[in-house]
Chain A
């Protein structure tokens, strides 16, 4: 990102975006394509960058529509999605744990959109899933943009997990972050 950290914070204090989260519909595909085909957004993603509308439609049908918790990030002017935030419950018996991920269209970077979306999503899932105690996320060591989002959203850095995932054919070291319901929810 071209904006330095301090400048970014000042910008955010001026214009904190009002965002809403809503489920996707298949008719969101054109807006979805805006970021899903953009390497600048997708280069750190587990998902490959889509290249065609058909690929995007398939991805939406196969992964987004059946997802346990996936939301379009909308900025309230016209309600059109500018990004995505999703929360995936941990496998098996760990019902107390889930992982969060997010993508925001490049033109909307630097405005605090992802941070606001992550905060809203965290609130929502801690409320909807009363057994949830831990929300975590991993980000590549040099994905400074996403790491700042998580830090600003109140996540705590826990560890560097070496060769944790293979992304785009290479094994990557990932930083594990977590947010506990005990630290963020008044129940």
Chain B
């Protein structure tokens, strides 16, 4: 609950902050445990955040989108970047059919944009009003990392 109840962390997430332990338990049971790929980010063995990947369906099954969140007191130490790098490594190995990993960061979230860039994602462009977050449509920057690496086409 450290990060899931912190509005500074959930500000850029679809889900608002968890308000109670009951709320958090239900989220863990209904969403986290059955998720196709959901991992805790641990420092000294204790979870300080999480990262997850969602594969596409049908003709989109060759791509997956990544999202992560980190407890506020651990920001600014390169943890998210390291977690992303580790996740990318694992995913490319576990899902060999994967060609594209993508992630979005809100225009107003430069911290997350830097994390993605440091983790090797390439900025593709600004998608206007792409996601609905806390009742308002937001502009986001789309990032991708290709299994094949950057290519000249």
Contacts and interface: CB of A to CB of B under 8 A. Distances in A.
Answer whether A and B are interacting partners: yes
B74 interface: no
A68 B62 CA distance: 26
Contacts, number: 74
A93 interface: yes
A144 interface: no
Contacts of A165: 59-60
Given A161-B144, A162-B144, A171 B129 contact: no
A163 B146 CA distance: 8
B125 to A, nearest CB: 2
B137 interface: yes
Interface residues of B, number: 26
Given A133-B137, A159-B127, A93 B14 contact: yes
A176 B129 contact: no
A178 B127 contact: yes
Given A160-B125, A176-B127, A95 B59 contact: no
**9 A-B pairs with the lowest CB-CB distances in the bound complex, closest first:** A159-B125, A163-B100, A159-B124, A134-B129, A163-B99, A96-B137, A158-B125, A171-B99, A133-B137
15 contacts: A46-B59, A94-B132, A96-B129, A96-B137, A133-B137, A134-B137, A141-B153, A158-B127, A159-B142, A160-B125, A162-B124, A167-B59, A171-B100, A178-B128, A180-B128
Interface of B: 14, 59-63, 99-100, 102, 122, 124-132, 137, 142, 144, 146, 148, 151, 153
Interface of A: 46, 93-97, 133-134, 136, 141, 156, 158-167, 171, 173, 176, 178, 180
